[in-house]
Amino acid sequence: MKKWMFLLLALFVGQMAYAQTQQFQLSSHILDISTGSPAAGVKIALLQQEANGSWKAIDEKFTDANGRIKDFLPQKGTPHRGIYKLVFFTKPYFEKQNVPSFFPFVEVVFELKDDAHYHIPITLSPYGYSTYRGS
C-alpha cells in the first residue's frame, strides 16, 4: 500500500512540475549543411512589425550547442499574432571558422496567425540558405 501511495504522490508531483513548465510560441534551429552540424553560437534577433510598417526589436538570443533557440515569445495566455522577422547573423559564425561567405545575415519574415507553436529553422551554407515552417 505504501508503494502505491508513493507512486501516486510521485506521479502527481511530476504532473504539477510539467504543468508549470513555461511554454513558448516560437523556436528556431540552424543546420550548417556544409558541415552537417548544428550552427552553435549564432545570434538571432526577433523583431515585430508595427502598424506603421517599422520593426520593433523583441528579443535577441544565441543558438545553443544543438543550433537551437527554444524560447522565443513566452505564452502568457495572450497569443502573439502579427508579422515577425527573425534575423540570423551568419557572418560572424563563418568568420569564426575562417570560411568566406556571401550572406552577412539572413532575414525570414513570417506571420503568426494563432496561438499555435511555430518553428522557423534554416539550413545554411556559406553561399546559400533555405527555410520552412517546421514543427
In the chain, where the domains are located: 23-131
Greatest alpha-carbon pair distance for the chain in Å reads 67
| pLDDT given at position 4 | 46
| pLDDT given at position 1 | 53
Tell me the pLDDT tens digit for each residue of 46-75.
999 999 999 999 999 999 999 999 999 887
Residue 118 CB neighbours (<10 A) = 22
Tell me the pLDDT tens digit for each residue of 1-47.
555 444 444 444 444 444 456 688 899 999 999 999 999 999 999 99
The residue among 92 and 22 whose pLDDT is bigger is: 92
* CB 112 within 8 Å of CB 80: yes
Sequence-separated (6 or more) residues with CB below 8 Å from residue 87: 44, 45, 47, 105, 106, 107
**What is the pTM (predicted TM-score) of this model?**
0.82
What CATH number labels 23-131? 2.60.40.180
| pLDDT given at position 13 | 45
Ranges of beta strands (E only) in the chain are 24-32, 37-38, 43-49, 55-62, 68-74, 82-88, 106-112, 118-125, 128-131
